């Protein structure tokens, strides 16, 4: 049973043996699109996309993914492997009565979207990955591109026990606040935004659960055929400090029908920095012929 949340537009959705907190907007009989946030976000990451997509007639569901903010936080690293995260997505669609779903994912949410499209191609109508590579290409790419190894060095730190929780939580999450500001264009994250994130990070057990996504990479499930059959759009901010553009090209090589939108002046946070461009691309891909009445936050 899908349960109402504490505010209009909020709901609790059972999926894959847990319950996720989510925000929804748009007509309930419209095509379902699920927006998947990354680290260290929660549903708030999509504040500039929700209303434009809903205004175009899409049923927009934006969950706090497992471990994040108000969603359930099952114990143990094994609860956060990619197969489990993909099963969460399919369970959300099942709970809302949809056989097929469009997925839009950023950062870790994009990895989950890629994995879901490869593992459950018959359930994914369309896929949009925003500054997120397919998990199947990352290892090979890093072995050939040492610069990417340097950019990804923080992952090794995040996989350690206990230490990253202490470092990241220190000084009211000073490192995490600084990382968001320094990796984005000026003004992308306001002080109020950062405080809102800190509230989500400070929930009991949340930070450990968020880091368990990284720890579970050591036990990444195998994917014999990582081909991506649903139509795919990759949106990539060219000034990403964490991920090289070559990862996007390698991911597109797995797609039967894929194309890219390069936004060279944007960073890893392209959907927040260039919302008009990103939203128009999303609408043309997910709801052709429709445009939002206005670019609004929620």
User: Catalytic annotation on 94?
Assistant: no
User: Catalytic annotation on 80?
Assistant: no
Selection from 145, 121, 155 nearest residue 225 by Cα:
121
How far apart CA 107 and CA 213 sit, in angstroms, is: 12
Per annotation, catalytic residue among 107, 134, 141, 240: 107
User: Catalytic annotation on 145?
Assistant: no
Selection from 20, 65, 19 nearest residue 46 by Cα:
65
Alpha helices in 122-162 (DSSP H): 135-144, 146-151, 154-158
Beta-strand ranges (E) seen in the chain are: 3-4, 10-15, 18-25, 32-36, 59-63, 101-106, 124-130, 232-237, 258-263
How far, in whole angstroms, is CA 20 from its chain's centroid? Answer: 14
Q: For 184, how many CA atoms within 13 A lie in the half-sphere containing its CB?
A: 18
Per annotation, catalytic residue among 197, 214, 240, 271: 214
Instruction: Please give the C-alpha separations between residue 134 and each of 74, 113, 117, 129, in angstroms, as whole numbers.
Output: 25, 9, 10, 9
Per annotation, catalytic residue among 37, 98, 134, 268: 268
SS3 of residue 105 by DSSP: strand
Q: Catalytic amino acids?
A: 107, 214, 268
């Amino acid at each position: 049973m899908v349960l109402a949340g504490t505010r209009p537009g909020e709901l609790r959705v059972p999926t894959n043996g847990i319950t996720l907190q989510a925000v929804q907007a748009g007509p309930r009989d419209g095509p379902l699109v699920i927006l998947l946030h990354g680290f260290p976000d929660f549903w708030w990451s999509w504040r500039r996309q929700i209303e434009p997509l809903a205004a175009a007639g899409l049923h927009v569901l934006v969950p706090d993914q497992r471990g994040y903010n108000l969603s359930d936080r099952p114990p143990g690293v094994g609860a956060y492997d990619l197969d489990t995260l993909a099963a969460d997505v399919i369970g959300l669609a099942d709970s809302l009565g949809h056989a097929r779903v469009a997925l839009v994912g950023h950062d870790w949410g994009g990895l989950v979207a890629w994995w879901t499209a490869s593992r459950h191609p018959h359930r994914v109508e369309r896929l949009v990955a925003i500054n997120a590579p397919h998990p199947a290409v990352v290892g090979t790419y890093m072995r050939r591109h040492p610069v990417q190894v340097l950019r990804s060095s923080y992952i090794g730190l995040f996989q350690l026990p206990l230490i990253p929780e202490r470092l990241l939580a220190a000084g009211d999450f000073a490192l995490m606040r600084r990382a968001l500001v320094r990796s984005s264009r000026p003004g992308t994250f306001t002080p109020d935004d950062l405080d809102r994130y800190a509230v989500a990070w400070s929930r009991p057990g949340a930070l450990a659960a968020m880091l368990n996504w990284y720890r579970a990479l050591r036990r990444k499930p195998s994917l014999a055929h990582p081909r991506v059959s649903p139509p795919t759009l990759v949106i990539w901010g060219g000034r990403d400090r964490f991920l090289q553009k070559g990862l996007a090209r390698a991911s597109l090589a797995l797609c039967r029908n894929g194309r890219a939108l390069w936004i060279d002046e944007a960073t890893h946070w392209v959907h927040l920095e260039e919302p008009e461009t990103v939203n128009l691309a999303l609408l043309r891909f997910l709801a052709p012929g429709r445009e939002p009445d206005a670019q609004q936050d929620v």
